[in-house]
Amino acid sequence: MEYRVKIPMNTPSARLVRHIKDDSLTHYALKRAKAYQKSALLALHPFRGFEDNASLTADELKAKIFRESWEPDNR
């Protein structure tokens, strides 16, 4: 922590500032997300239930992840 105080350009927010394009971090976030997705797809052991690499709709993904047993608590 002391290192960040002595050199403020090493704080997380200062490091993110370097990636701002057109007043947004969207490009950077998408680049990171694609890298994580690629890593997950190349993993030796795919996530259980997603071995077929099929494209899923949001509802299908929710059903697979929660095995259709999750419903929001609307109390």
pLDDT at 60: 83
Distance CA 60, CA 68 (A): 9
List all residues 6 or more positions away from 23 whose beta carbon is below 8 Å from its beta carbon. Answer: none
Q: Does residue 75 carry a pLDDT above 60?
A: no
- 10-25, pLDDT tens digit by residue? 888 899 999 999 999 9
Q: Which two tokens stand for residue 4?
A: 């960040």
* pTM for the structure as a whole: 0.50
Q: Which of 34, 36, 56 is nearest to 26 (CA)?
A: 34
Q: What are phi and psi of 56, to 5 degrees?
A: -120, 145
